[in-house]
Structure 1
């Protein structure tokens, strides 16, 4: 049985398409079957793969099933897109930073050849990163269930009005205030949006969640670090305004007034391949 790899590429830049060709050719020469994550057979990703044998697959086709590695060319946004398909397949993700932000990626473009060689040799270790399971409820009705690797943020749906929320931890009310939003971040996400909002940096192997209000109009609205076994709830005031749940900038859910967003430690981690 041949070894397989899935390439996930930021396709809006010539640099990444050129890198995709190089990576695809290197994996092919090493005996790998290559898949490319795309949206249509004739998109830019397929053009990148024209110089080597590959199969273009869509996100709704379980593209990571059966591969040994998801190889990412881009920045953190591209890696988060890759995590979406790698997580259910329990496959590690290895990222090369070709974007602006590369906190989650493992190597830079000048180490592209070495990174492919390490992937071919299996010369990497795998870290399991904590995720969040997120449920939106209105009364007894479940409106949506989703997940996050970095953070789940409940944000105001209208620029003209603040979002009035009640924060509870394990069923105990903690604080109520008006704000632009509330973030719940993992240790991985503590250096992303939560950090910009004033949250602490949490070491990746620490098991914890961080609750960070965004522009809260309140005396007590400091960030909180809570146990991974806790359940965090963000309840929207029934007389307030609608909100939007944003998970990793990848998945969005409308949150109506009176609804409750419940966040806890995720059942399935994301596996990141580490070289160093």
Structure 2
């Protein structure tokens, strides 16, 4: 009896690019040719990922389900939006830095094709990053949940006056704040807006949430690290506030007095492809030096 060995499935590589960066289009074309020479399929490059996250079509969902990996050509902002787009499908993401600092991206553009070769060979590891789930409550009506890799933030928007907010963990009120805003950050987001506002840096291996006030009008208002299994409830309490809630820095939604945002650990994670054996603390040291 003759046995025929089944052919191994051909992977499909997705590409998300920041179309505001001219280099991204060129690199995507080079990448398509490189993959084609190796009989590897490349999905149609996705652009305007912010809009895709907000209203994904059934056609887009079907295309995402076919992908084995996603390569992001852009900076941290493009990767953040991509993480929100593919988290439900468990697709690993490789970030290629075309931006300035590139805290989340794994490689620089010159390392792209050696990195793809390693992906094909299976020579990589997956790093799971905790994400946040946020729900807006307006007049006792709950919005659909949205997900964030970095942070959920309530700010005063473009209004000059501070806003009044109450923060609670579970059913326990932990503080009332007069401030420019409040940040709820994930460990990944601890090095973003949270860090600029004076919050602590938290290793991504620690699953927790960080509550940090922005320019509070009180000397004793300090950041707070909250366990991963809690829910943080933020309530706008002043009648004249012009509050806005944003997720990962995207255009926000207005909040009125009495509106709430509920933030907790998301049921999905961001799966980052890692090729280099660099610890979080080494990356932190290198990127902090670049950001000077």
The counterpart of 2:46, out of the listed 18, 37, 46, is 37
Partner residue in 2 for 1:45: none
User: Contact 2:125–2:275 (CA<8 Å) still a contact in 1?
Assistant: yes
Partner residue in 1 for 2:65: 65
Tell me whether 96-105 or 113-122 shows the greater mean CA deviation. 113-122
Q: Distance in 2 between matches of 1:151 and 1:101?
A: 18
Segments of 5+ residues of structure 1 without an aligned counterpart are: 41-57
TM-score by length of 1: 0.88
1:19-42 Cα distance to aligned partner (Å, 9 max, x none)? 2122222222222211111359xx
TM-score by length of 2: 0.84
Displacement of 1:2: 3.3
The answer to whether 1:19 aligns with 2:27 is: yes
Partner residue in 1 for 2:165: 165
Cα RMSD (Å) of the superposition?
1.8
Segments of 5+ residues of structure 2 without an aligned counterpart are: 1-8, 50-54, 277-292
User: Contact 1:27–1:120 (CA<8 Å) still a contact in 2?
Assistant: no
User: Contact 2:84–2:148 (CA<8 Å) still a contact in 1?
Assistant: no
User: Contact 2:130–2:265 (CA<8 Å) still a contact in 1?
Assistant: yes
Partner residue in 2 for 1:91: 91
Aligned residues: 259
Displacement of 1:192: 0.8
Displacement of 1:138: 2.8
Displacement of 1:80: 1.2
Give the secondary-structure state (helix, strand or coil) at the position aligned to 2:102.
coil
Q: Distance in 1 between matches of 2:86 and 2:38?
A: 22
The counterpart of 2:14, out of the listed 6, 24, 28, is 6
User: Contact 2:187–2:204 (CA<8 Å) still a contact in 1?
Assistant: yes
Partner residue in 1 for 2:286: none
Q: Distance in 2 between matches of 1:33 and 1:256?
A: 48
